[in-house]
Copies of this chain bind each other. A is one copy, B any other.
Amino acid sequence: MSTQTSDGMNYAPRGKAAPVVRPGEFVFAAMYLDHGHIYGQCNGLIEAGGTLAKVYDPQPERVARFVQTYPQAVAVSDPREILEDPAIRLVAAAAVPSERGPLGCQVMRHGKDYFTDKCPFTTLDQLAEARRAVAETGRKYAVYFSERLHVESAVVAGDLVEAGRIGRVVQVLGLGPHRHGASGSRPAWFYERAKYGGILTDIGSHQLEQFLYFTGNTSARVQAAKVANYRFPQFPEFDDFGDVTVIGGNGATGYHRVDWLNPDGLSTWGDGRLFLLGTEGYIEVRKYVDVAQEKVGDTLILVDKAGEHRMACAGTAGFPFFGRLIRDCLDRSETAMTQAHAFLAAELCLTAQVQAVRVAG
């Protein structure tokens, strides 16, 4: 599995190995491989020193492909062989979105931490249940918000903000365009509202997490949201466009736009951008491509009092989230991401989806 850029569903970044534990010290398993993000999740944990022990999925062909990539993973035929294995500390999963919440509660109630692909939930009820399960079990419900956690230029942006390079961040603007891909390339659940939850719930979840992270907000409200289906009338439950604007408790605001309208001529799966507007400067991140300029992404532009600065971030910052997550699981700390932050990001995107005005397509 190498880093692929034609299709976001199979975008599984690889970084430098930076183990935080010895082999065998942090054992995890993978379950439910519905979304290709599971490869990115596993890559991140393995590079941070995690030991991938087992894999379960009801579809044998998916398991066969998985163990080809990760021969160390023992394929098991019953999920209980993972859930009831005391050696396994964490379960990484990328189930159909509507199953992620219930699966996570099941995992936590088996005494394990959970690391799900985004979106973490498709309904506010699932979120409420997960909050209860976390409170009851003391386990972690961690989320793979890959569009920040697995993008080095976004990691660098976080470091620059933390260092005060653009002053106070007053607005985050995120663009998350995605390639739909060839007709027939997506599974049926991709178009079923009850299963994927709507575009703001799904790919919008990355965005709201970034808003909270870069502005340092611990509370926020949705001011307005909308969704539309402009190009896929054959899938009436599908949204191919969504946007949301939010107001944070600390006075910083956000605007986030997502879509499935990416043109075929783009050299990557999506021209993802992030703009951080600060009182002393601004940052633009061109995550996956510097469009019509460089066929590589991870370009960060910083404009401050001194000038305009361009930084090539690939290979610089790595992906510190995964090692921190492993340490947090072992140390019961919250250095990677607090549970409250992950759940609030989820709450905002679910609320945005519920409140969204449906615009005529």
Query: Which residues from chain A sit less than 8 Å from chain B, CB to CB?
Result: 166, 168, 170-171, 173, 175, 177, 223-224, 226, 228, 230-231, 241, 243, 245, 247, 251, 253, 255, 257, 259, 261, 263-267, 271, 275, 277-282, 284, 289, 291-293, 301, 303-310, 357, 359-361
| Contact, CB under 8 Å: A245 / B245 | yes
Contacts of A282 in B (CB 8 A): 177, 261, 263, 271
Query: Are B305 and A241 interface neighbours, CB within 8 A?
Result: no
| Nearest-Cβ distance from residue A204 to partner chain B, whole angstroms | 14
Closest residue to A263 on the B side, CB-wise?
B281
CB distance from A228 to the nearest CB of B (A): 7
Counting chain B CB atoms within 10 Å of each CB, the highest count among A170, A267, A301 belongs to A170
A66 CB, nearest partner CB in chain B, Å? 34
**A241: chain B residues within 8 A (beta carbon):** 170-171, 277
With A170-B261, A243-B245, A247-B359 in contact, do A308 and B291 touch (Cβ < 8 Å)? yes
CB distance B305 to A263 under 8 Å? yes
Chain B residue at smallest Cβ distance from A284? B291
CB-CB < 8 A to A277: which residues of B?
177, 241, 259, 261
Report chain B residues within 8 Å CB of A170: 228, 230, 241, 261
A116 to B241, CA, bound (A): 37
Set B263, B266, B291, B301: member contacting A292, Cβ < 8 A = B301
Chain B residues near A271 (CB-CB < 8 A): 282, 303
A279 touches B291 (CB 8 A): no
Whether the Cβ atoms of B253 and A255 lie closer than 8 Å is: no
Once A226-B253, A303-B265 are accepted as A-B contacts, the answer to whether A357 and B231 lie under 8 Å apart by CB is no
CB <8 Å contact, A263 and B171? no
Known contacts A226-B253, A255-B257, A267-B307; 16 further A-B pairs (Cβ under 8 A): A166-B263, A224-B245, A226-B247, A228-B251, A243-B245, A243-B253, A243-B255, A247-B359, A259-B277, A263-B282, A263-B304, A265-B306, A266-B308, A291-B303, A292-B309, A292-B310
Shortest CB distance A42–B (Å): 32
The answer on a CB contact under 8 Å between B303 and A257 is: no
